[in-house]
Structures are given as C-alpha cells and as structure tokens.
Amino acid sequence: MSGTPAPPPVLGLILAGGRARRMGGGDKPLLRLGGRTLLERVVERLAPQCGAGLALSANGDPARFGAFPGPVLPDPLPGQPGPLAGILAGLEHAAALGVADVVSVSGDAPFLPDDLVARLREARGGAPVAIAASGSREHYTIALWPARLRGPLRAYLAGGERRVGDFIAPHGARAASWPAQPVDPFLNVNTPEDLASAEAARALAP
C-alpha cells in the first residue's frame, strides 16, 4: 500500500545558554520541578517528535549535562551573543548531519505540546520559518528553522545584531498558535515565582 510519505526528520535543539540572572545564576534547565529537572521534562516531550535526535545549546563544561542524550553545542561565535548564536550552532550541526530542519525550544519550558513539530510544519507552508504562539504572545525561540539559513544568520550575528525578531522579519515567518489555558504550553521559568507557578500548573498540564 502506498500512502503519504513521512516528512524528513527534524533535529531538536534545546536552548540552555542563558545566564539565569533572575534565578540567581546557574543553569535553569537543571532546576527541579516535581522531582525532575526542567531539562528532563523538555527532553521527554520533544524527543519523540525529532527523528534526527536532539542537541543542547550550552556554553561551559558540557559534563554538567552528562545525562543529556545528544551533543552539547557551544556558541560558534564569541561574546555570548544570545539565543541566535545557539540557533546558529544547531543549524550548522544539522547541516553537517544532512538534516534540513531544526526545531528550537527553550530549556526551561517544561510543558511543550506533543504536536509542536507537526503544527509548526503545517503552519510554515512555503515560508522559511514557523514560530509558536500562545494566547496573544509569539515565542521567537520556539520555532522551526531551515538549516539553509545558517549563512544569513552567521552574517547577521557577525554584524553585531542580536534580536531574534529582527532576523526573522525579512526572511518571513508564520505562526502556529496554541491556547494559553488552562496551562500555557510555552510557560518558561525565568524567576522563582515562575517556578512556583509551574509547580502549581503541573497537575493541569496535558
């Protein structure tokens, strides 16, 4: 029997390069929620959607992520220029593997939807990039990117630019939206108060 061919596999990129200033420093993805790290929860939800495996964007000693099931990618540019540098690392890694697309997510978002990749692919259509949205908010770092944008992205960062939205704008993007209730699937933990909110939301999350 013939059917619709399966879409090509996607590489999952978990962004863990933030400095967590509002949490007092350290690695936010290693914070615990309900006895498990945020990173473990992100991996559990994302891995089944990514046929090309996972990679983690993080600087410093990769040994602290020893349980992570994939490579740890440092920024390919100096100066810690923000999440776009992590995305560039993922795009270049994907290209080296022969993988066409990368889905990037935050390492501190424990309630990611299990249809993230499928919905982003559907929303993207012929546009280069698809971004996630919940309620009225767009989440630029939770997005589906083509590896072919690695050249323009490297040039953008080399020119001193940093803003994710400004990079996306001229290339075009479409959004896939999820409801923000009863739990925002893209709730991310930036502060101790956010962690408390995530703990309260855990029982309601799908």
Mean pLDDT score of the chain, rounded to an integer? Answer: 92
Who wins on pLDDT, 124 or 23? 124
Quick check: 2 pLDDT over 70? no
pLDDT-based confidence at residue 117 (cuts at 50, 70, 90)? very high
Per-residue pLDDT tens digits for 183-199: 999 999 988 899 999 99
Confidence of residue 150 (pLDDT cuts 50, 70, 90): very high
| Per-residue pLDDT, 124 | 96
Q: Which of the given ranges, 60-64, 117-121, 171-175, has the highest pLDDT on average?
A: 117-121
pTM: 0.93
Q: State the average pLDDT over residues 28-37.
A: 93
Confidence at residue 19, expressed as pLDDT on a 0 to 100 scale: 57
What integer pLDDT is reported at residue 18 of this predicted model?
58
**Does the structure show a pLDDT above 60 at 1?**
no
Is 147 buried (19+), middle (13-18) or exposed (0-12) by CB count in 10 A?
buried
CATH fit for domain 10-201, picks 3.90.550.10, 3.20.20.80, 3.40.30.10, 3.90.580.10: 3.90.550.10
Q: How confident is the model at residue 24 (pLDDT cuts 50, 70, 90)?
A: very low
